Chains A and B, each alone.
Chain A
């Protein structure tokens, strides 16, 4: 487990919504979407609201207890994707009891899927159905 294990959403450009308990996250700057499994959604909710990762080790899910390595790998992905950032000297939030109940009902392993088919499009805001071989979209540099 990391030295610092309290996290927050990395920037105001990371926005998310929950659908029937499943989180969808959008990075407004890159246009990448992220979809989570049910257990991943629960951990996203917890971690993004300041629950320490270490507090979630051993939490029961419908397919077994969450291990430290499993949570560490999941957190690494969220950091790598730029969705979370470590917070130094943060006040840790306790694990909400309802979260533990939701985790216990989760039936999927920790997982986050990235959807970036349109990432290039959202970066430059062009119209759809543009094909890369046409040499566009592309982020322009000043000449």
Chain B
């Protein structure tokens, strides 16, 4: 296979999709997952990715027929009929150049270091993740399996994966926005351990069709060792496994949630957490401009393709919500109490 360039990228995408579909009979496992408005079927090999598909999602209630189904093939040369992935040819390489795929009605993503390709046809709802071998995937994939495909599928339906945490009570909730290190995950864990609900600490599905609604997708939560200890999770989760690629503990939302993960949260505020340094937490208004700058960049950076539509979506979201800055105190219970009080009385 010749190297891939912008000139032959669309042809290569179509070739990879056709090759993956024609080998349907040869994938060892088929996993089905019920997600909001979507039934995902993944054709995979046994291993970490199959396990992630089986355990890494918060499954939507099965009492309603999903509106649509999509099929994702996790392909590699160990499966009959699948050729090794091609490499990118002409540098420099940027994902922004993948806009040419969109003109052909396709979506794509490429991780250079591993010749790791993801292509999706949103019209047919068929995708392929082509890897050099069964375990040649980026280290973040198991924490949010098939994230790019979900992003493309939901974006095509007018929704969006937001890089945000959530906390809520009685069906109402807040979106916690900010780049990595802003305190989102610690705040979510603190809230869950003290009686609040959440639909995710990293990526959540946001819909603007009727106000702002957040739904859960991924079940994995993360905490660095310091936060893990501060939250008392070493005692609560003694069987925790090895640290992940970021040096963080990973666990599932059900491990610490006070009740089953809600199907939805009606989002009533956009909250920008930051490590306050003071003893107590406080929530004060912040400009929509600042909230947008906290919410949008990481969300857009992490969602391959459709940057402009993402910018517009997050702009609309920001305009729909009152925006606040949360200065985080040091005690998890106090942080959770501040947010609970805000939801009960202060959120408008």
A80 on the B face (CB < 8 A): no
Chain A contacts for B319, CB-based, 8 A: 19
Chain B contacts for A109, CB-based, 8 A: none
Q: How far is the CA of A35 from the CA of B315 in the complex (A)?
A: 13
Instruction: Beyond the given A121-B297, A122-B301, please list 7 additional residue pairs across the A-B interface where CB-CB is below 8 A.
Output: A17-B315, A24-B293, A121-B301, A124-B94, A125-B94, A127-B140, A139-B93
Q: How far is the CA of A31 from the CA of B307 in the complex (A)?
A: 9
- Determine chain A's interface SS by DSSP, over half rule: loop
Chain A contacts for B89, CB-based, 8 A: 142
Contact with A along B55-74 (1 / 0, CB 8 A): 00000000000000000000
A19/B308 in contact, CB under 8 A? no
B304/A115 in contact, CB under 8 A? no
**B179-229 CB contacts (< 8 Å) to partner A:** 179-181
Chain A contacts for B246, CB-based, 8 A: 129
A116's nearest neighbour on chain B, judged by CB, is B297
Q: How far is the CA of A15 from the CA of B296 in the complex (A)?
A: 13
Q: With A17-B315, A24-B292, A115-B293 known to touch, is A121 a contact of B302 (CB < 8 Å)? A: yes
A142/B307 in contact, CB under 8 A? no
B180/A33 in contact, CB under 8 A? no
A118 on the B face (CB < 8 A): yes
Chain A contacts for B96, CB-based, 8 A: 13, 28-29, 123, 125
Q: How far is the CA of A128 from the CA of B293 in the complex (A)?
A: 15
Chain A contacts for B93, CB-based, 8 A: 124, 139-142
A125/B297 in contact, CB under 8 A? no
B163/A17 in contact, CB under 8 A? no
B180/A129 in contact, CB under 8 A? yes
Question: Measured between C-beta atoms, what is the minimum distance from A129 to chain B in Å?
Answer: 3
B307/A122 in contact, CB under 8 A? yes
B91/A140 in contact, CB under 8 A? yes
Contact size range, B = 35 or more
Question: Measured between C-beta atoms, what is the minimum distance from B161 to chain A in Å?
Answer: 12
**B1-20 CB contacts (< 8 Å) to partner A:** 3
Q: How far is the CA of A17 from the CA of B311 in the complex (A)?
A: 9
A140/B112 in contact, CB under 8 A? yes
Jot down 26 A-B pairs with beta carbons below 8 A, ordered by A: A15-B308, A19-B289, A19-B292, A19-B318, A19-B319, A20-B288, A20-B289, A24-B293, A24-B315, A26-B296, A28-B311, A31-B301, A117-B179, A117-B297, A118-B179, A121-B297, A121-B302, A122-B297, A124-B93, A125-B109, A129-B181, A140-B112, A141-B92, A142-B3, A142-B88, A142-B89
B287/A19 in contact, CB under 8 A? yes
Q: With A17-B292, A142-B88 known to touch, is A22 a contact of B287 (CB < 8 Å)? A: yes
B24 on the A face (CB < 8 A): no
Question: Measured between C-beta atoms, what is the minimum distance from A115 to chain B in Å?
Answer: 5
A29's nearest neighbour on chain B, judged by CB, is B96
Q: How far is the CA of A61 from the CA of B301 in the complex (A)?
A: 36
